[in-house]
Structure 1
Amino acid sequence: MNTPLATASGTASSPASGLTSSPAAAPAAVAPAGLPVLPRPSADEFDAVIHHGAYMPLAQFGVIDATGDDAASFLHGQLTNDTQHLDAASARLAGYCSAKGRLLASLLTWRSGDTIRMLLSKDVQAAVQKRLSMFILRAKAKLVDASGELAVVGLAGDVRKALSGVFDALPDGVHVQVDGTAGSLIRVPDALARLRYLWVGPKAQVEAHLPLLDEKLQRVSPAVWDWLDIRAGEPRITQPVVEQFVPQMVNFDVLGAVNFRKGCYPGQEVVARSQYRGTIKRRTSLANVDGELETVRPGAELFHSDDPGQPCGMIVNAASARGGGVDLLVEIKLAALESGSVHLGAADGPALRFLALPYGLPAEV
């Protein structure tokens, strides 16, 4: 039996300043105004994604709807990617930056009818919506928190047959989306060679279709989706890391989240200068570390064995791993990966084991 889809709540955020990561607060089970720590999924839940197919309601996300004649042009002047030419069959990853070029949020954007929807971490949604609204001024645009009316569901693995019972057509490529009576279905980057989709639609209609999914798929914890996002190499900006990273530090240029040909947006000069002057000395890598999420948290600092006095990086995202420990996306100095070892919290803390990202990074000079 299915229970109604929950909606997480929360606000954000306290900005950091300067060009290097500031010291992280002591780990806690729940960060202030942040998302709750999700329990480790069972082996069966991981296996359902890998060997069969699974779905998971995703309360860790919120949705902001932008409407009005000027919605597209307004967002075009605020986000790192192009919304002016966003068509009805596409979704685009984008960032929202401070004036210093530091990410306040990561967003997936797409059109649903006359509305531009933005999916983002629930714990930064309120602050992002408030900040964006301050700049609407005379533009004919309105921003609305649509999280209460919409359900967000992730699907992964062998799920196409189950989805074909809900949608007349399925997206045939990454970041392709189809709009139907049950909402929007967006294909997102694969993880571990498994297909992944996001389904965002009216909550009552989505819940009415869930029994059909239960006949063919296993319902699993939303923590599995967090793990899959990490294994796909796609960082998510949450409250503990707000305003810590220029987009290139979390590989957003590689992931297509930055359009370097579009017009001005907050922080655009910093982002462009980092791109064209060869100053990208930090990137995001995939790693695993021993521990559990109660102590391995986003925002925690990393230290190199050869330089214990200052941090060399920071955890961007963390999720319980199928093989044990915690899988991580970590922003780190490229030089720290050349030799020695990297440790969590201190130079004598747990050592990170680095894994291959599912995409290549450009050679930095």
Structure 2
Amino acid sequence: MSNWIDYLSSQGARFHIDEAGQVEDFGRVLSRAELADGFVAPATDLGLIGVAGEDAASFLHNQLTNDVEHLSRTEARLAGYCTPKGRLQATCLMWRDEQSIYLQLPRAIQAPLQKRLTMFVLRAKAKLRDATAEPQYEAVLGLGGAKAEAALSEHFGALPAVPYAKLDHDLGAVIRLADAFDAPRYLWLTSAQTAIAAIPKLKARLALGGNVAWHLAAIHAGVPQVTLKTQEQFVPQMVNFELVGGVNFKKGCYPGQEIVARSQYLGKLKRRMVLASVDNAAAQPGEEVFSSADPEQPAGMIVNAAANGAGGADVLVEIKLAALTDAVHLGSAAGAQLSVLPMPYSLDAAGT
């Protein structure tokens, strides 16, 4: 990992103030327009749990919100891990290879989740490990925007054709994710050596960003990521997790399953997640938002936030749907006002 981080530093990386190995950007924050045109972003704040053993799939199937037993090697899926009360402790991207199933999630919560899951292995033939620095996944590159497909095709030829399809190649694995800015997003998982060789050619065609750019693209894809500050705050439907394919209502039980199912089938959902912009680049996950119609009580919470290159931040915010008819402010009723933006999918779409 150090060679990869050292290389990014030599390219002008700016690091997170509290995390020396996490690249925020390369001298400036990329704008929405630059992301829409095409970008490549080393994602350095993600951790990876590997689960191996003949019971790995059945064990995870009984822990997560999505179907693991039928996960093939040519696809990836979103999944959540809930408390018994149905509140998300983590959201992750999962895929498998010949030996293991992998869960990718923020590095800040990777080790605690790995420890918690290990507590429930019991007699199952499954072993969890920290796979973050394993050579084949040491470098994680996120790509998106109009020019990304052509730039990545120069390395791989054909790319995954639909969201959450996965391609294995000598140069690593490529997973297509949910689209953002009307263009595909891709996650390239590879060795540090391969990534170092690829970056010069990629950045000649694409804007070079870091974690901030990758987060901003995910926000515009409408895909939530539970972080350290938002653990146990949301039932999956409150952050549209079933709308983006993160919940399978036909699979068997998992922690919190009854609560999640009840939220889906009994009554109408009163809280959802929406996309918004705010003139405060320092907006953070976990911050509460307030409606002008009821200024004393929080109307919702920031799920994810990223600077947008225009002096503010774009956010995914979980909120009472009734509050959207009023002005909504960050931090207090006197805070910066949120401007709601169109979501990339319907909030009334059927769950999976």
Whether TM-score is above 0.5 comes out as: yes
Match for residue 14 of structure 1?
none
Secondary structure of the equivalent of 1:280? Answer: coil
Q: Are the aligned partners of 1:60 and 1:121 in contact in 2 as well (CA < 8 Å)?
A: yes
Say yes or no: does 1:177 pair with 2:177. Answer: no
Aligned pair in 2 of structure 1 residues 132, 198: CA closer, same or farther (>3 Å)? same
Name the counterpart of 2:40.
Answer: 55
- Alignment partners' CA distance in 1, 2:90 and 2:209: 26
- The structure richer in helix per residue is 2
2:34 is equivalent to residue 4 of structure 1: no
Measure the CA separation in 1 of the matches of 2:349 and 2:191.
44
- 1:164 — aligned with what? 153
Match of 2:4, SS state, is: coil
Q: Quote the residue 1:314 is aligned against.
A: 301
Within the alignment, does 1:155 sit opposite 2:140 as a pair? no
CA distance in 2, matches of 1:352, 1:210: 36
Q: How far 1:193 moved relative to its partner?
A: 0.9
Aligned counterpart, 2:291: 304
1:250 correspondence with 2:239:
yes
Aligned to 2:10: none
Deviations 1:236-279 (A, max 9, x none): 10000001000000001111110000000011011011111025
Are the structure 2 counterparts of residues 36 and 163 from structure 1 closer, same or farther at C-alpha, using a change threshold of 3 Å? closer
Contact 1:192 1:231 in 2 (8 A): yes
User: Aligned-pair distance for 1:335?
Assistant: 1.1
- Deviation, structure 1 residue 41: 6.8
1:170-199 deviation digits (Å, cap 9, x = unpaired): 100111110112221011111111221001
What's the TM-score once normalised by structure 1's chain length?
Answer: 0.85
**Distance of 1:114 and 1:342 partners within structure 2:** 48
SS at match of 2:262: helix
SS at match of 1:288: strand
Match of 2:233, SS state, is coil
TM-superposed deviation, 1:168 = 4.5
| Equivalent residues, number | 336
Query: Which AA in structure 2 matches 1:332?
Result: I
Q: Which amino acid aligns with 1:59?
A: T
Name the residue aligned to 1:130: 115
Structure-1 separation of matches of 2:76 and 2:263:
26
> 1:344-359 residue pairs with structure 2 within 5 A?
344-359=330-345
Instruction: Give the Cα separation in 2 of the matches to 1:248 and 1:223.
Output: 25
Q: Is the 8 A contact 2:88 2:233 kept in 1?
A: yes
- The match for 1:290 is 279
Query: Matches of 2:308 and 2:31 in 1, distance apart?
Result: 11
8 Å contact kept, 1:41–1:320: no
Cα deviation, 1:205-259, whole Å, max 9, x if unaligned, reads 3333334434443422321111111111111100000010000000011111100
Task: Report the counterpart of residue 95 of structure 1 in structure 2.
Answer: 80
Alignment partner of 1:74 is 2:52:
no
Residue 222 of structure 1: aligned partner:
211
- What letter matches 1:50 in structure 2? A
**Equivalent residue for 2:199?**
210
Which ranges of structure 2 fall in alignment gaps of 5 or more residues? 7-15
How far off its partner does 1:313 sit? 0.4
What is the distance in 2 between the residues matched to 1:274 and 1:203?
A: 43
Give the RMSD, CA atoms, in angstroms: 2.5
Is the Cα–Cα contact under 8 Å of residues 41 and 224 in structure 1 kept in the other structure?
Answer: no
- Describe how 1:230-241 pairs up with structure 2 within 5 A: 230-241=219-230
Match of 2:319 among 332, 357, 365: 332
SS in 1 for 2:198: helix
The percent of aligned pairs where both chains have the same amino acid is 49
- Contact 2:327 2:337 survives alignment (8 Å): yes
**In structure 2, C-alpha distance between the alignment counterparts of 1:331 and 1:40, rounded to whole Å:** 30
CA contact (8 A) 2:81 2:91 kept: yes
Q: Report the residue type matching 1:330 in the other structure.
A: V
Contact 1:63/1:118 (<8 A) preserved: yes
Distance in 2 of aligned mates of 1:308 and 1:40: 39
TM-score, normalised via structure 2 length: 0.88
- Say which SS state the counterpart of residue 124 (structure 1) adopts: helix
**Alignment check: 8 A CA contact 1:155 1:196 kept:** yes
Which ranges of structure 1 fall in alignment gaps of 5 or more residues? 7-28
Q: Work out whether 1:141 is the aligned partner of 2:126.
A: yes
Q: 1:306 to 1:161 in 2, by over 3 A?
A: closer
Shift of 1:37: 9.8
Secondary structure at the counterpart of residue 280 of structure 2:
coil
Of stretches 158-167 and 95-104 in structure 1, the one that deviates more from structure 2 is 158-167
Distance 2:244 2:303 in 1: 16
- Partners of 2:317 and 2:27 lie apart in 1 by 22
